[in-house]
Structure 1
C-alpha cells in the first residue's frame, strides 16, 4: 500500500470514531433531560434479547409464592424453577414427569399431536367426528 492509501484509511477510521462518539447521548450534551427519561429512552432502544429478565433468578425452592407473581413462567415450583405443570413438557402434571420425544403436554397429559384426535397438531385441536389425525392434520389425504 502506498502512503496516500494509509492516510486515507487512518482518516476514515478517525472520522467514523468521531461520529460514533458524538452521536452517543449523555447528560452533559442534552440540556433539560432528566436522568430518568434518559434511562427510559435507553430501555426502549434495547433489543428484545437484552430486555429479557434472567430466568436464573426465579428460584422458588425457598419461596414458592414467587411463582404466582406477575410475569412468572408458571405457578408451580419444580426443581427450583417456576413452571406450569399443565403445559411444561419436562414437568407434565407432576414435577419430573417428562413427555416422550414426539409428545407435548396438554392439560397435564402427554399426548402425540401427530396422531391424537383430541389434540391434532396442538393442544385442544379436536378433529370432527369420523376424522382421523395423521401428521398433525385432521382428515389428511
Structure 2
C-alpha cells in the first residue's frame, strides 16, 4: 500500500514536467525568430533585403530598450500645464494632485480638491449626498421626487 502511494505521488509530480516539456516542442519555431526573404529568380544577384513585415515582427522582440528614445520633456501633468485637463478625452476640467478630475462628480474631490464623500454618499453638483434618502437626488444625481413623496432606499414613494 505504501509503495502504491509512492508511485502515485511520483506520477503526479512527473505529469506537469511532461506537459511543460511537450509544450516547449511546439513553441520552438516562432515567427518572431525567423526572417523571410522574398524569392528571387536570378541567383547571381546578392540576397534580397528582408521584407518590412518580417522586420516589424523582429522588432517586437524588445530591442527597443537598447537604443530606444526617451521622452525628454517628461509627462505633461496638469499642475504645470492646466490646459491639459480641458482637452478632449480628459477625465475632467479641474486639476487635483496632478490629476484631471471633475469636482462636481468625483467622490474623492467633491466640490474642491481633497474633499472625500463618505462610503454611502455620491458627489452631485459638488456636494456629498446620500442617494438612498435624498429627495433631490433619489437613487442618482438629479432625480427629484414629486412634491409630497419621500425617498426611501433610492426610490421615490417606496411604500
- Pick the TM interval, shorter chain: 0.5 to 0.7
Unaligned ranges ≥5, structure 1: 40-56
Normalised by the size of structure 1, how large is the TM-score?
Answer: 0.63
- For 1:130, which of 136, 148, 151 is the aligned residue? 148
Unaligned ranges ≥5, structure 2: 1-5, 37-50, 61-74
Aligned length: 122
Larger Rg over CA atoms? 2
Residue matched to 1:65: 83
Is this contact kept in 2: 1:114–1:121, CA < 8 A?
Answer: yes
The structure-2 alpha-carbon separation of the partners of 1:30 and 1:116, relative to structure 1 and needing over 3 Å to count, comes to farther
Residue matched to 1:27: 32
Per-residue deviation, 1:88: 0.8
For residues 1-57 of structure 1, the C-alpha deviation after alignment (integer angstroms, 9 at most, x for no partner) is: 23x974685365233343256359542369786537x96xxxxxxxxxxxxxxxxx7
Map 1:1-141 → 2, pairs under 5 A: 1-2=6-7, 6=10, 9-10=13-14, 12-19=16-23, 22-23=26-27, 26-28=31-33, 35=56, 59-141=77-159
Per-residue deviation, 1:83: 0.9
The structure-2 alpha-carbon separation of the partners of 1:16 and 1:100, relative to structure 1 and needing over 3 Å to count, comes to closer
User: Would you identify which runs of 4 or more consecutive aligned residues in structure 1 move more than 4 Å?
Assistant: 23-26, 29-34
> Separation in 1 of the partners of 2:25 and 2:147?
67
Normalised by the size of structure 2, how large is the TM-score?
Answer: 0.57
> Separation in 2 of the partners of 1:17 and 1:120?
60
What RMSD, in angstroms, separates the aligned Cα atoms of the two structures? Answer: 3.5
Is this contact kept in 2: 1:121–1:137, CA < 8 A?
Answer: yes
